[in-house]
Amino acid sequence: MSWKISAHAPRAVVEAALLAHEDALDWDHDIVIAGSEIAEDRPDDWVLEAWLGRRPRKADKAAVARLFAGASPEFAPELTVEELPDADWVTLSQQEVAPIRTGRFHVHTPDFPADDTPGTVDFAIPASQAFGTGQHETTAGCLAMLDAMKRRGTLVRNALDVGTGTGLLAFAALALWPRAHATASDIDAVCAPVVEDNAARNGVALGGGAGELVMTVAPGLDHPLIAARGPYDLVIANILAGPLVALAPDFARALVPGGSLVLAGLLTTQERAVRTACRREGLRLAARLVNGDWSILWLRQRRPAR
């Protein structure tokens, strides 16, 4: 059986709690968090939901409650706990998401039909334990940025997708630059079989050659395979602002001179810190876009990495 902890609060309070979750370095990743509006006609009434594959312990409920520590007392929500039918609780948190269209890309779960319009790149990505079905503003923003880079004439021969999740952004890079070598990595081992299944579903070849994808499990860029397959002329990292800042030197070293770095997972309020860290490493902004509250950055390596 699985369980869910719910907390109803105004939108601003739930959004603040989601930010607190991102900053919680000791968060138990067996607890999956999501926030959403209750109904379309009640846009300011939101609910934060936390899914667990076990009966919530006192410490679990306390961890969720701490996300609201900054809320005014009158808005601090009460937590409700309910037992759910036996199901894949992580997948349930991502089901019934509508397809998206961004640039030339159409991304949908298998519950929806493909878009066979000429010029459309269609991906079917099932809801799964890995992040990145395309509906989140950061993933959709990365797809739009990659599409814009292609239209501006960017050439990619060797690409790396850090924190790949479902593999979607690596697939997109290969769709845009079909003769490139591609590497995908994630710190979470559950992503490896997810990427392999999604590659088979979407006709993406696995292997080390041109037009093929290699998947590995690694923290950041710290893996012999990632080092051996570099340097890269495209690195994509849709993770979180803190790791983006910490990894800026590694990104710079992994890129060829003139190479491109696409960063996402940072709020617009966190953009300055990320750009400052990258600027110290010789990475300069080529373009940015904002999708909702999130910034997506395209930076270029202007000088040889140290």
Task: Answer yes or no: is pLDDT of 133 > 70.
Answer: no
Task: Answer yes or no: is pLDDT of 189 > 80.
Answer: yes
SS3 20: helix
Asked if residue 58 is part of any domain, the answer here is yes
Q: Which of 27-41, 70-84, 167-181, 286-300 has the lowest mean pLDDT?
A: 27-41
Q: Is pTM beyond 0.75 here?
A: no
Which run of H or E residues covers position 63?
helix 58-66
Amino acid at 244: L
Name the domain count of the chain.
2
Range of the domain at 180: 100-301
Residue 305 has a pLDDT of 46
Dihedral angle at the C-alpha atoms of 6, 7, 8, 10, nearest 10 degrees? -140
Percentage of the chain beyond pLDDT 70 is 91
Task: Answer yes or no: is pLDDT of 132 > 80.
Answer: no
Q: Which of 10-19, 43-52, 88-97 has the lowest mean pLDDT?
A: 88-97
- Residue 109 — pLDDT band, cuts 50, 70, 90? confident
Same domain, 198 and 145: yes
Same domain, 75 and 104: no
Residue finishing a domain among 34, 59, 92: 92
Residue finishing a domain among 92, 110, 126: 92
Give the integer Cα–Cα distance in Å for 284 and 234: 14
Same domain, 84 and 147: no
- Residue 62 is part of a domain; what is its CATH number? 3.30.70.120
Same domain, 25 and 79: yes
DSSP string, 68-103: TTTS-GGGPPPEEEEEE-SS-HHHHTTTTPPPEEET
Residue 89 has a pLDDT of 45
Same domain, 127 and 151: yes
Asked if residue 11 is part of any domain, the answer here is yes
Which run of H or E residues covers position 14?
helix 11-23
160 with 234: CB under 8 angstroms?
Answer: yes
Asked if residue 44 is part of any domain, the answer here is yes
Asked if residue 219 is part of any domain, the answer here is yes
Dihedral angle at the C-alpha atoms of 172, 177, 178, 183, nearest 10 degrees? -60
Task: Please state the rounded mean pLDDT for residues 161-185.
Answer: 96
What integer best gives the mean pLDDT of the chain? 87
Give the integer Cα–Cα distance in Å for 126 and 135: 12
Q: Which of 35-49, 145-159, 268-282 has the lowest mean pLDDT?
A: 35-49
Asked if residue 67 is part of any domain, the answer here is yes
Percentage of the chain beyond pLDDT 90 is 56
Asked if residue 306 is part of any domain, the answer here is no
Same domain, 139 and 77: no
Give the integer Cα–Cα distance in Å for 302 and 105: 29
Task: Answer yes or no: is pLDDT of 88 > 60.
Answer: no
Q: Which of 155-159, 184-188, 211-215, 257-261 has the lowest mean pLDDT?
A: 184-188
Task: Answer yes or no: is pLDDT of 134 > 70.
Answer: no
- Residue 143 is part of a domain; what is its CATH number? 3.40.50.150
Output the CA torsion sign for 197, 94, 240, 288: positive
Give the integer Cα–Cα distance in Å for 179 and 47: 45
Residue 96 has a pLDDT of 52
Same domain, 141 and 266: yes
DSSP, res 206: B
Task: Please state the rounded mean pLDDT for residues 1-14.
Answer: 87
Same domain, 125 and 267: yes
β-strand partners of 298: 262, 287
- Residue 201 — pLDDT band, cuts 50, 70, 90? very high
Task: Please state the rounded mean pLDDT for residues 129-152.
Answer: 79
DSSP string, 122-185: EEE----SSS-SS-SHHHHHHHHHHHHHHHTT---SEEEEET-TTSHHHHHHHHHSTTSEEEEE
- Residue 297 — pLDDT band, cuts 50, 70, 90? very high
Same domain, 230 and 108: yes
Task: Answer yes or no: is pLDDT of 87 > 70.
Answer: no
Same domain, 15 and 131: no
Residue finishing a domain among 30, 64, 92: 92
Give the integer Cα–Cα distance in Å for 229 and 179: 15
- Residue 232 — pLDDT band, cuts 50, 70, 90? very high
Same domain, 229 and 122: yes
Q: How many CA atoms lie within 13 A of 173 on its CB side?
A: 33
Amino acid at 204: V
Task: Please state the rounded mean pLDDT for residues 37-57.
Answer: 84
Same domain, 111 and 88: no
User: What are 117's two structure tokens?
Assistant: 């319009």
